[in-house]
Amino acid sequence: MNHVSVDLVDRRPVMTGELLPPGAMRFDGKVVLVFGGGSDSDGVPSNGSAAAVAYAREGARVIVVDRIEANAAHTVANIRSEGGDAASACADVTSEGDVMAVVEDAKSFTGRIDVLHNNVGSTLMGLPPDLTLADWNKSMATNLGSVFLTCKYVLPVMASQRSGAIVNISSLASLRDTGYPYPAYSASKSAVNQLTVTLALQYARHGIRVNAVAPGFIDSALIYREISSQYSSPEAMRRAREERSPTGRMGTPWDVANASLFLASDAAQFINGVVLPVDGGQHMRSL
Ligand SMILES: NC(=O)c1ccc[n+]([C@@H]2O[C@H](COP(=O)([O-])OP(=O)(O)OC[C@H]3O[C@@H](n4cnc5c(N)ncnc54)[C@H](O)[C@@H]3O)[C@@H](O)[C@H]2O)c1
């Protein structure tokens, strides 16, 4: 049967290493695969590109995967301009063939995969009467199916190494209402959280940790494309999101990247199956 049976493999506890000395690069010698790591702009970065750059700044060899070749190339160029190590790959995370091919290439190119970072996600505004079934299914495939597919192909690689960390980018919308009419988005991101928990527990004895980050209101390029339609202008959107944030500001893609790197690093080696809000405390606040 072609499935990973947790019961048939080595179930001894995985021993952990010493922490790195202060100032050491946390991802030196590690291979990090960032799905949705591209960016189309030099202005407001995407969450994915900020994460890719941040891993590279800490010594990782980063493979930036994006369905738009130019976006992946853009992030890779930024990383290389800082002296970092990165390569680009073109794949749509909703295509099983694409994901399988990218993981296979990454494995043969680098010999291992230490971190899988799942950044791809897209909001879809609309209540059920406004949506087609195809819209709904596409949203599920993008936000949830993508995590299933990347994990399907990366987990066996990590299991054979007996080490690895997975970070899934969820959303505050998975934990609570954010006021936007996007049930496909919130439902799919909630499912990402529970997929994260299940995989975390099933693979803990394989030396693999799986965690999620739930960003709140982040000032990334995505909101100008996908959220601003809910406001009279982009400026009105910015003001409203800043006002609703307990800190008085939106987060930045770097805030999301910093939390992700912590969860992927050995500093978090006893942290598994959490969904970490990165939202300035918004998840604790009433609307
Ligand atoms: N900005 C926010 O306020 C906010 C809040 C909560 C969660 N998030 C989450 O952050 C993540 C995205 O943030 P971002 O700023 O990087 O977004 P983004 O839309 O800029 O996407 C980054 C990259 O992903 C690529 N991509 C999109 N669909 C793809 C696909 N099917 N296959 C491969 N690549 C694909 C895009 O081409 C782009 O280069 C999502 O998971 C989103 O749900 C954002």
- 73 touches ligand 1 (CB under 6 Å): no
For tokens 């960032």, what's the residue?
34
203 is catalytic: no
pLDDT-derived band at 20 (thresholds 50, 70, 90) equals low
Residue 240 within a domain? no
Contact 154, 163 (CB under 8 A): no
Q: Whose CA is nearest to atom 4 of ligand 1?
A: 218
Q: Whose CA is nearest to atom 25 of ligand 1?
A: 36
**Whose C-alpha lies nearest to ligand 1, atom 2?**
218
Give the confidence band of 14 by pLDDT, cuts at 50, 70, 90: low
Asked if 37 contacts 49 with a C-beta cutoff of 8 angstroms, the reply is yes
Q: Where are the alpha helices (DSSP H) in the chain?
A: 47-57, 69-81, 96-110, 133-140, 146-161, 183-203, 221-226, 234-244, 253-264
Q: How many angstroms is it from 220 CA to the middle of ligand 1? A: 9
User: Is 94 a pocket residue for ligand 1 (Cβ < 6 Å)?
Assistant: yes
In the chain, the number of structural domains is 1
According to the model, what pLDDT value does residue 41 have? 74
Residue 102: both structure tokens together: 């990218």
Distances (CA, A) of 212 to 1, 122, 149, 197: 30, 16, 16, 9
What is the residue-averaged pLDDT of the chain?
Answer: 93
**pTM score of the predicted model:** 0.94
- 206-241: per-residue pLDDT in tens? 999 999 999 999 999 999 999 999 999 999 999 999
* Strand order across the beta sheet in which 31-35 lies: 85-90, 61-66, 31-35, 115-118, 164-169, 208-215, 275-278
Place of tokens 């339609």: 229
| Residue 71 near ligand 1, beta carbon < 6 Å | yes
Q: From the CB of 68, is ligand 1 less than 6 Å away? A: yes
* Active-site pick, 55, 153, 182, 185: 185
Residue 221 Cα to ligand 1 midpoint, Å, equals 9
Percentage of residues in the chain having pLDDT higher than 90: 89
Q: Report the separation in Å between the CA atom of 39 and the middle of ligand 1, taken as the mean of its atom positions.
A: 9
CA of 36 to the centre of ligand 1 (A): 6
Mutate to test the pocket of ligand 1, among 66, 75, 175 (most ligand atoms within 8 A of CB): 66
If you take atom 42 of ligand 1, which residue's CA is the nearest one? 121
**Whole-number Å distance between alpha carbons of 82 and 147:** 30
| Ligand 1 binding pocket includes 75 (Cβ within 6 Å) | no
For the segment 54-79, the average pLDDT, to the nearest whole number, is 97
User: Which pLDDT belongs to residue 117?
Assistant: 99
Tell me whether residue 69 is in a domain: yes
Q: In degrees rounded to 5, what are phi and psi of residue 115? A: -135, 135
Residue 108 resides in a domain: yes
Q: Assign 16 a pLDDT band (cuts: 50, 70, 90).
A: low
- Domain of residue 70: give its range: 28-219+254-278
Q: What is the DSSP string of 72-105?
A: HHHHHHHHHHTT-EEEEEE--TT-HHHHHHHHHH
67-76 pLDDT, tens digit per residue, is: 999 999 999 9
State the distance from the centre of ligand 1 to the C-alpha of 35, rounded, in angstroms. 9
Say if residue 142's pLDDT is above 70.
Answer: yes
Ligand 1 in contact with 145 (CB < 6 A)?
no
Residue 120: other Cβ atoms inside 10 A: 21
Is 247 inside a domain boundary? no
- Residue 90 is assigned to a structural domain of this protein: yes
SS3 187: helix
pLDDT > 50? residue 34: yes
Residue 285 falls within a domain, yes or no?
no
- pLDDT, mean of residues 147-170: 98
Q: Is the CB of 186 under 6 A from ligand 1?
A: no
Q: Which of 3-17, 49-63, 178-192, 245-259 has the lowest mean pLDDT?
A: 3-17
Q: Kindly report which listed range (4-8, 12-16, 196-200) carries the lowest average pLDDT score.
A: 4-8
Q: What is the CATH number of the domain that holds 202?
A: 3.40.50.720
Q: Report whether residue 171 contacts ligand 1, using a CB cutoff of 6 Å.
A: yes
| 13 has a pLDDT exceeding 70 | no
**How far is the C-alpha of 227 from the C-alpha of 235, rounded, in Å?**
12
Residue 78 contacts by C-beta under 8 Å, 6 or more apart in sequence? 39, 49, 53
Does ligand 1 come within 6 angstroms of the Cβ of 279? no
Alpha carbon of residue 117 to chain centroid: 4
